Structure 1
Amino acid sequence: MTQNGIHHVTAIAGSARRNLDFYTRTLGLRLVKKTVNFDDPGAYHLYYGDAAGSPGTILTFFPWENAAPGRAGAGELQETSFRIPQGAIGYWMQRLTAYGVDRVQRFGETVLTFKDPDGMRLALVGLPGVEAEPAWDNGEIPAEFALRGFHGVSLMLDKTEATGAILSDIFGFAEAAREDGTIRYQAPGTKVGGIVDLRGVGGFLPARLGRGSVHHLAFRAADDAAEAEMVRKLAANHGIETTEQKDRNYFRSVYFREPGHVLFEIATDIPGFAVDEPSETLGQALKLPDFLERHRDSIKATLPELA
């Protein structure tokens, strides 16, 4: 059965050490891959997720120490939300006090909104029943309170119609609800990473990419054939061409700008994060693609210390 939904979200951070501390200790995610930006190997590319690095749980960062702050506006992924057990709301309210946490109601769900140290907008959504799902145990956050992958993302767009058509036609989402100017799209049968909210904000200034901004949003394709079919449909039905396929070692990707100007990626579920190191030790060693391996010593010399 084809599994639709979000594959990963990639954002821009400042300090790599601060980013690692916040996402592994404060939020309790697992560091599943420590590598470099393939296009800028002087900077890390850090991947966080669940114990296995499953699609739908992966939040990744390009930490650029001197990155200027981003500016919120139209044409961006505005907020990334994670699933937590409904009974964990009080725990996280207390834990995130220093990060401006606020409690709101959306689409009948209790949502905690806050920002990470770089200003990235995040949310935790309390859901019944998810406490029975497996959770990564980081030794600090009790498993009954731990994050269980993405709930979804919210996009701020000048107009929503054309983006909604791509979500439905290409990625298997369907409109599920509307509330306060936001249209909720949901991938039927997808529990983790199955929601994309579109908020129309005609007349807003365009977003400016920077520290605290999301760089791109990736959707799942089971394999190369599924990805190729999505590429074909994008061109045939929407007049949108993608990049050539790029090998990211842990998935294979194509990229395109959706009509609202957010950078979308289609990423294969295969081969996964255990392709170059055992599942038991994910994220512990610096992993480099073959074409950069001969430069390992010089790359390590330029990267900031993480501990």
Structure 2
Amino acid sequence: MQINGLHHVTAISGPARRNLDFYGRVLGLRLVKKTVNFDDPGTYHLYYGDADAAPGSILTFFPWDQAAPGRLGIGETQETVFRVPEGAIGFWTHRFVELGVPHEAPAKRFGESVLSFRDPDGMRLALVGLPGVESEPCWTEGGIAVENAIRGFHSVSLLLADAAPTAAILTDIFGFAETAREGSLIRYAVAGTKVGGVIDLRVAGGFLPARQGAGSVHHIAFRAADDAAQEEMVRRLVENHRIRTTEQRDRNYFRSVYFREPGHVLFEIATDVPGFAVDEPAAELGRALKLPAGLEAHRAQIEAVLPALD
């Protein structure tokens, strides 16, 4: 059965070691894959997720030491939101105070408690407290107790000049439907999808366009169960919206196509298969540097230029 919703979110960061410290130590996420940017193999591509490295929990980064700060603007992901147990918002507020993490006071959004914060590069993030998620599996070896640990994505919000063209893609291609409105936010959700099943569209006409850099989300990826499901989405994009994707690209852990949706956000369609355990045991995810077959012959040179993470 096809499960819709987010597959992963990919962002740009500054130094890799600082990024790993924040997402591994501060947020307690699991480093599920340590590889390189296939298009720039002198740079890491770090993947964080839950205990199972499940689609809908994966946040990835291209870390560049000298990356200039990005500028939030129209045509970009504004905020990436994780799910935590409803009673954990207090714990995270205190933790952010103790560790000096920039954050706002908890607030209500669509009736849910939301704690917005930023990472060291200024990337906009949030935690939303939800009832019942404490019974879901999570990663606790990062030092965060089970009753407080993150359980994958809740949502992303997109900053747009006009919501309607983007909404047409969300509903027709990815199975979302409008569920609520609050101020300038329009919420879309996929029925029956708990993890990564929400997209919020924020209409903000008159803003400058986004400028990519450290702290920016590069793209968001939606799930396709397999190649056939992906092909069907590509077909509907062409026939119903006159949008063409890139050719399929093999990312080792999923296969991807990319396109700019009408609001100018870069969307990806990523297959659930083969998954992150295809080249290392599930218990050892993220421990060793993994390279695609075409780069293995250059491992020594690549390892020589990558910064140490230990």
TM-superposed CA distance for 1:240, in Å, is 0.3
- Once the two structures are superposed, the pairs formed by residues 134-173 of structure 1 within 5 Å of their partners are 134-173=137-176
Given that 1:25 and 1:138 are in contact with CA atoms closer than 8 Å, whether structure 2 keeps it comes out as: no
Amino acid at match of 1:145: N
1:195-242, CA deviations, whole angstroms, 9 ceiling, x for partnerless residues?
000011111100100000000000000000000000000000001000
Verify: 1:129 aligned to 2:135, yes or no: no
Q: Which residue number corresponds to residue 87 of structure 2?
A: 87
Correspondent of 2:269 among 262, 266, 271? 266
Q: Which residue number corresponds to residue 57 of structure 1?
A: 57
1:64-117, CA deviations, whole angstroms, 9 ceiling, x for partnerless residues?
110100001111000000000011111000111212222111000000000000
2: CA distance, partners of 1:188 / 1:143: 26
Q: Which residue number corresponds to residue 5 of structure 2?
A: 5
SS at match of 1:294: helix
Amino acid at match of 1:268: T
1: CA distance, partners of 2:123 / 2:142: 25
Q: Which residue number corresponds to residue 74 of structure 1?
A: 74
2: CA distance, partners of 1:254 / 1:153: 20
Query: Once the two structures are aligned, what percentage of the paired residues are identical?
Result: 71
Amino acid at match of 1:38: F
TM-score by length of structure 1 reads 0.99
Verify: 1:31 aligned to 2:31, yes or no: yes
SS at match of 2:147: helix
Q: Which residue number corresponds to residue 260 of structure 2?
A: 257
2: CA distance, partners of 1:216 / 1:262: 7
1: CA distance, partners of 2:60 / 2:142: 22
TM-superposed CA distance for 1:139, in Å, is 4.7
Q: Which residue number corresponds to residue 293 of structure 1?
A: 296
Q: Which residue number corresponds to residue 215 of structure 1?
A: 218
Correspondent of 1:225 among 228, 241, 251? 228
1: CA distance, partners of 2:34 / 2:142: 20
TM-superposed CA distance for 1:52, in Å, is 1.2
1: CA distance, partners of 2:248 / 2:121: 31
* Displacement over 6 Å in runs of 4+: none
Given that 2:73 and 2:210 are in contact with CA atoms closer than 8 Å, whether structure 1 keeps it comes out as: yes
SS at match of 1:165: helix
Q: Which residue number corresponds to residue 119 of structure 2?
A: 116
SS at match of 1:20: helix
1:160-202, CA deviations, whole angstroms, 9 ceiling, x for partnerless residues?
1010000000000000000011100001100000000001111
Unaligned 5+ residue runs, structure 1?
none
SS at match of 1:135: coil
SS at match of 2:287: coil
Q: CA RMSD in A?
A: 0.6
1: CA distance, partners of 2:160 / 2:177: 18
Stretch of structure 1 that moved more, 134-143 or 12-21? 134-143
1: CA distance, partners of 2:273 / 2:89: 34
Q: 1:139 to 1:254 in 2, by over 3 A?
A: closer
2: CA distance, partners of 1:255 / 1:99: 33
2: CA distance, partners of 1:292 / 1:12: 22
